[in-house]
Amino acid sequence: MKKLKEIIDALYPLTPEAYKAFSGICIPMSIKKNMDLQAIGQTCKNIYFIEKGALRVYYFKGETDITDSLEFEGAFVSRVESLVTGEPSKKGIQALEDSDLIVINADKLYDLYNSHLEIERLFKQLFLKAFIGMLKRIESIQFHSAEVRYANFLKEYPDALKRVPLKYIASFLGITQVSLSRIRAKYWLFIFCISNRSLFDPTFIKSTQGGFKLFN
């Protein structure tokens, strides 16, 4: 639980007494690559913390598999709408790698709120952070080009290309895999040109706001 404690200490440090109580409801578990942590249609009763590995939240639109989010070490993952309503979730959680997790039962967590107000405040901060992240993702799709979304994705998750299949990355970015291949080719050509800009006419390459663009 070393990584979990680091995240807690950085966000909202708990007193030793509160941390001991919280640790008592944290259960380590491992899951194999490609297995569902939570299947679509199940009611979510836990919050998961990723000590090691990668998970994705996904759903189906018709027969199309859509990746809603990608999560790596240090992230909390859950289906909050199912936790709150008690209804089955329309989204599933799948392991993209062999992963080590900490399982936090929601009912036991809520019981701790009564005796340790700081734990409640901690998770309010976590849920708020997750909500803001969701809003930023929506705004990124609304206002940013696919090229900018890809560049920002690489900045936020620099090793994701080595860990996540391209079809899931494309889906997460809201584009097709063919479009992603074209953007990747353009992006790496841009990086090559910038690295070797003395070989080219300066007007060949032009940076755009938050992204990249190549000109003939």
Hey, where are the domains in the chain?
2-143, 146-214
Over residues 46-104, the pLDDT tens digits come to 999 999 999 999 999 999 999 999 999 999 999 989 998 999 999 999 999 999 999 99
Of 48, 29, 50, 55, the C-alpha closest to 104 is: 48
| Protein fold of 2-143 | Jelly Rolls (2.60.120)
Q: Element (H or E) spanning 85, and its range?
A: helix 80-85
- Percent of the chain as helix, strand, coil, to the nearest 5: 50, 25, 25
Report pTM: 0.84
Over residues 119-159, the pLDDT tens digits come to 999 999 999 998 998 899 889 888 999 999 999 999 999 99
User: Does residue 88 contact residue 42 with C-beta atoms inside 8 Å?
Assistant: yes
Beta bridge partners of 31: 99
Measure the CA–CA gap between 9 and 122, rounded to whole angstroms: 10
